[in-house]
Amino acid sequence: MRRRILQATLLAVAVTTVVLGLPLGFSALKLVQDLTGADLSTRAQQIATLLDEQVANQRPIDLNAVRLAVPEGARLVVRTQAHDYVYGPDPGEDPLVQSVPMVQSGTVTIAAPSAPVRTQQLQVAGLVLMLVVLSAGTGMIVASVTARRLADPLRHVASRAARLGAGDFRPDPQRHEVPELDRVADALDASGAALSQLVQRERELVGDVSHQLRSRLTALHLRLEALAAVDDADVSEEAGAALEQAERLSAVLDDLLAAATAARARDAEPLDVTSLLNQVADEWREPLRNQGRTLRLKIGDELLARATPARLREAIGVLLDNALRHGEGPVTLTARHGGGTVLIEVSDAGSGVPDELVPHVFERGFSGHGSTGVGLALARALVEADGGRLELSQARPAMFEVFLRVARADDVLGLLWKPEPTPR
């Protein structure tokens, strides 16, 4: 995009330079020649006037009296009925000639060499060319600045859209003072908020449906098991068949919930959590240092989990930002293997979360510190979108835990080894 904008602007500058530069150069060359011709004509008229006075006073024509009016290197030719008078050297080939008539039946002709005029024309042409080059250079600078000013916001908006597609629903406060792009950024923020609410409602719906169905199936199992234990053979047989169907229904429910979880995490990939957390830590050290706080790392080696890099980066960023805004003392970022998962912990030494806020800390729009109440809800949605979990494991001081699925061996092998395409 930046290259296209730059090319379009430079093309406009080039066309403008050609359209204006060529007529300007031609006009400048013509002006030099016209000024020289006008000067010669004026000098010839002055000489003719002086010679007319000599003839009128019945004196012989004396060219010495008018030699000061003859340009250097030019030749003066005075033609009368009786005689021709010549003063000055030969002007060479292709001279500039100006002739004026005398009142006393004659002509005065001045022939000046063309070399000085050509030199002046070259100087003027060089000046015009320098102005054209200066204008083109200025246009290139303006084009480069304009292209950067337009391309950088476009790249940022495109990146924001890509992050939104990857599951990063956090609003982006950056604006570019370009009304059209700012409206696009506002629309992306609104879309992110709507998608976040949709993901959260989907998660809550799946959880509620799962809980309700499991409760009803458990009650049904108990009833059917009681019926299967009665002495009536027919009733016991029918109860056993119904119990078998209930068990199948429970298995189908488990499969559906597993499929829903896998669908949400379809973009997750084997991820080097150790490397990503070190990168995130590098980004947050300076903001913490500006407030006189430190970031402590306790990250294990070779931690591989299934997650989306953009989602996990933003989720951990939310937790670190929460510790920066509402916590105190050093912030600790820990990552290790735990119970078949990769466990990431973010904690600080502050006063923690009040008891009345603990049940609502992940609810969207709920906050006890004057913030928007969006960050933690989004962080949980991002983690759960990859099939993980985000929990508040300790309220005082606050400690948040992220549980990620460990990458399978075949995933890791697929990440390390990719077969070369078969030649056709």
Does one domain contain both 273 and 254? Answer: no
Q: Does residue 90 sit within a domain? A: yes
State how far Cα 337 lies from the chain centre: 38
Domain count, the chain: 3
Task: Give, in order, the Cα–Cα distances in Å from 190 to each of 171, 172, 185, 198, 295.
Answer: 8, 10, 9, 12, 33
Q: Is 72 helix (H, G, I), strand (E, B) or coil?
A: coil
pTM for the model stands at 0.45
| Phi, psi of 368, deg, nearest 5 | -105, 10
Asked if 256 and 274 sit in the same domain, the reply is no
Looking at residue 416, its pLDDT comes to: 45
Residue 336 lies in a domain: yes
323 and 398 fall within a common domain: yes
CA-based end-to-end distance of the chain: 35
280 & 397 share domain: yes
pLDDT of 380 reads 85
Give which of 94, 113, 111, 104 is closest to 44, Cα–Cα: 111
User: What pLDDT is attached to residue 179?
Assistant: 82
Three-state SS letters, 218-243: HHHHHHHHHHHCCCCHHHHHHHHHHH
In a domain, 82, yes or no: yes
The answer to whether position 418 is within a domain reads no
Cβ(117)–Cβ(96) under 8 Å? Answer: yes
Peptide bond into 309 cis (omega under 30): no
In a domain, 127, yes or no: no
Is residue 43 domain-resident? Answer: yes
Q: Residue 388's CB: how many other CB atoms inside 10 A?
A: 24
Q: Is 333 left (phi over 0), alpha (psi -120 to 50) or beta?
A: beta
Bridging pattern class, strands 295-299 and 331-338: parallel
Contact 170, 378 (CB under 8 A): yes
Contact status, residue 193 vs residue 199, Cβ threshold 8 Å = no
CA-CA distance, 320 to 127, in Å (whole number)?
62
Residue 241 within any structural domain of the chain: yes
Query: Can you give the residue range of the structural domain that contains 223?
Result: 179-266
Rg over alpha carbons for the chain, rounded to the nearest Å, is: 46
29-37 long-range Cβ contacts below 8 angstroms, 24+ apart: 29/121, 29/124, 29/125, 31/124, 32/117, 32/120, 32/121, 32/124, 33/96, 33/117, 33/121, 36/96, 36/112, 36/117, 36/120, 37/96, 37/98
Q: Which of 233, 251, 266 is the last residue of a domain?
A: 266
Do 235 and 183 fall into the same domain? yes
Query: What DSSP assignment string belongs to 122-174?
Result: HHHHHHHHHHHHHHHHHHHHHHHHHHHHHHHHHHHHHHHHHHHHTT-------
Asked if residues 236 and 211 have their Cβ atoms less than 8 Å apart, the reply is no
Q: Which of 246, 266, 286 is the last residue of a domain?
A: 266
- Whether 260 and 288 share a structural domain: no
Q: What is the CATH number of the domain that holds 393?
A: 3.30.565.10
Give the phi and the psi of residue 62 in degrees, each rounded to 5: -120, 105
- 279 and 365 fall within a common domain: yes
What is the structure's pLDDT at 413? 46
CATH code for position 41: 3.30.450.250
Tokens linked to 16: 């403008």
Residue 321 shares a structural domain with residue 252: no
Per the CB < 8 A criterion, the answer to whether 362 and 207 are in contact is no
In a domain, 129, yes or no: no
Phi then psi for residue 18, to 5 deg, are -70, -45
- Contact predicate 394/380, CB 8 Å: no
Per-residue pLDDT, 64: 79
219 and 299 both lie in a single domain: no
* Claim to verify: residue 329 and residue 314 sit in the same structural domain: yes
**How far apart, in whole angstroms, are the C-alpha atoms of residue 202 and residue 162?**
22
Residues 241, 282, single domain; the answer is: no
Q: Are 330 and 348 in contact (CB under 8 A)?
A: yes
- Residues 291 and 363 grouped into a single domain: yes
Q: Which residues of the chain have pLDDT under 70?
A: 1-2, 165-170, 199-200, 202-208, 211, 255-268, 364-374, 408-424
Contact 192, 164 (CB under 8 A): yes
